[in-house]
Amino acid sequence: MFVHNKRLQYTVRVAAPNPGLANLLLEQFGGPQGELAAACRYFTQAVGEDDPGRKDLLFDIATEELSHLEIIGSIVAMLNKGAKGQLAEAVESEAELYRSLTGGGNDSHTTALLYGGGPALTNSAGVPWTAAYIDTIGEPTADLRSNIAAEARAKIVYERLINVTDDPGIKEALGFLMTREIAHQKSFEKALHSIQPNFPQGKLPGVPEFTNVYYNMSSGNDARGPWNDGADWKFIEDPQPAVDGGDGLATVDVSADDIEVLKAMAYRTASDMRTDPTTGAELGAGQA
């Protein structure tokens, strides 16, 4: 059960309308790193979670992300207040209205015209939100790592948004949201390490002869570090195909009947290397 409290988790104070900034903030409303994606990701994980502690954690954070969606949506709506009225009532000339909507140098005119100045479930480029942003796999040791990365990406987007506004009230609200991403990362990491062991993810171990091998697959200016050097690693300087010792060719066992059919198909579709017929491309280029 959800019960909505009409007061925001963090007070929104917007100094003045700014459609361009509103459009940029849509990245955290309907974008891949935004609050709706986070809320849906954690909510679906919580529903499928059997561990009572993780279930409670995921429901708590999912619900908080919905409150963050409300904060971002409210900021967008406040920033679009002037444009909303001007669009609805046509109080400005065409040129003046267009200039006011595009003052941020982005596509704010597109989202304002399509959605009437309200917060739209799109990213800042107008791309609609999609459930494809939700990358839950149903294995907690994998999902918690994905959650940590998602919160980290969202924090970076908030940092960038803070850098493009001088509005002190918006800076404070975005700073709060950015900080909560840090808190959620800590919670998810604690939950991850409460599962021991948690690496490798899932149940099956890796194949021993390949688990601690580093293949140098890009030659030139090779770098060595803890990711490929030391006692934990076997470094293969010049890896060749078929590291399993085979010939690297794909094979399949088929029945005798299929072999005859495949031979017939190969004969029918074989290329004649001796011919060089005039093609449609050549005819189209005016060649006789």
pLDDT, tens digit, 9 for 90 and up, residues 13-37 = 999 988 889 999 999 999 999 999 9
The closest alpha carbon to 26, from 83, 86, 95, 73, belongs to 73
The CA-atom distances, in angstroms, between 262 and each of 187, 189, 241, 284 are 58, 54, 27, 36
Instruction: Specify the amino acid at residue 31.
Output: G
The pTM (predicted TM-score) of the whole model is 0.83
282 is in an annotated binding site: no
The CA-atom distances, in angstroms, between 200 and each of 49, 143, 150, 156, 204 are 20, 13, 20, 27, 8
Q: Is residue 37 part of a domain?
A: yes
Q: Is residue 110 part of a domain?
A: yes
65 is in an annotated binding site: yes
Question: For position 20, what pLDDT does the model report?
Answer: 86
Question: For position 90, what pLDDT does the model report?
Answer: 52
220 is in an annotated binding site: yes
184 is in an annotated binding site: yes
- Which tokens belong to 269? 């579709």
Q: How many CB atoms lie within 10 A of CB 89?
A: 8
Q: Is residue 54 part of a domain?
A: yes
Question: For position 76, what pLDDT does the model report?
Answer: 93
Q: Is residue 229 part of a domain?
A: no
35 is in an annotated binding site: yes
Q: How many CB atoms lie within 10 A of CB 181?
A: 22
Instruction: Specify the amino acid at residue 224.
Output: R
Q: Is residue 131 part of a domain?
A: yes
Q: Is residue 248 part of a domain?
A: no
Domain range for 46 is: 19-193
* SS3 per residue for 206-260: CCHHHHCEEECCCCCCCCCCCCCCCCCCEEECCCCCCCCCCCCCCCCCCCHHHHH
The CA-atom distances, in angstroms, between 186 and each of 70, 156, 179, 193, 243 are 23, 16, 11, 11, 39
Q: Is residue 1 part of a domain?
A: no
109 is in an annotated binding site: no
Domain CATH for 43? 1.20.1260.10
Give pLDDT tens digits for 97-144: 545 555 555 565 556 555 667 888 999 888 999 999 999 999 999 999
Total domains in the chain come to 1
Whether cis (ω within 30° of 0) applies to the bond prior to 205 is no
189 is in an annotated binding site: no
20 is in an annotated binding site: no
Sign of the CA dihedral running 144, 149, 153, 155: positive
Q: Is residue 217 part of a domain?
A: no
Low-confidence ranges of the chain (pLDDT < 50): 86, 88, 91-92, 95, 98
